[in-house]
């Protein structure tokens, strides 16, 4: 009977790992592993925002030289990947990395 439960547990663990893909489980190295998945533009945008959480889109454009559409696309991607959040309103809010 114990073997039956152990087999069921192993099966459930295997199913869980398959749903997680190749990504590591949350660990100390998880952020490091995830940053490897960012494009160069996303990394630069994130770096600029980390230095100044109150920066505007225009400020990011000035510091990176990227077009507005590249910035918007990068921010949208960073939000989807949960690297970046906007706290507060568009006008008076700030970024959270």
| Residue 3 forms part of a structural domain | no
- Rounded Cα distance, 30 and 43, in Å: 16
pTM passes above 0.75? no
| Residue 30 forms part of a structural domain | no
| Residue 74 forms part of a structural domain | yes
- Rounded Cα distance, 86 and 79, in Å: 9
| Residue 61 forms part of a structural domain | yes
Residue 60: domain span: 38-97
| Residue 92 forms part of a structural domain | yes
Domains in the chain: how many in total?
Answer: 1
- Please check whether residue 61 is in contact with residue 74, taking contact to mean a CB–CB distance below 8 angstroms: no
Give the domain CATH number at 51. Answer: 1.10.10.10
Q: Where are the beta strands (DSSP E) in the chain?
A: 85-87, 94-96
The phi and psi torsions of 61 (rounded to 5 degrees) equal: -60, -45
| Residue 5 forms part of a structural domain | no
Q: What is the pLDDT along the chain (97 residues), one digit of tens a residue?
A: 777 777 777 777 777 777 665 444 444 445 544 556 899 999 999 999 999 999 999 999 999 999 999 999 999 999 999 999 999 888 888 999 8
| Residue 18 forms part of a structural domain | no
CB atoms within 10 A of CB 54: 10
């Amino acid at each position: 009977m114990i073997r039956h439960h152990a087999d069921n547990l192993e099966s459930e663990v295997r199913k869980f790992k398959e749903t997680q893909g190749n990504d590591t489980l949350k660990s100390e190295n998880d952020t490091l592993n995830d940053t490897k998945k960012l494009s160069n533009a996303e990394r630069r945008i994130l770096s600029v925002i980390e230095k100044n959480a109150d920066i505007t889109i225009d400020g990011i454009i000035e510091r990176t030289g990227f077009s507005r559409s590249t910035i918007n696309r990068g921010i949208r991607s960073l939000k989807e990947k949960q690297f970046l959040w906007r706290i507060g309103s568009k006008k008076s809010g700030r970024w959270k990395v």
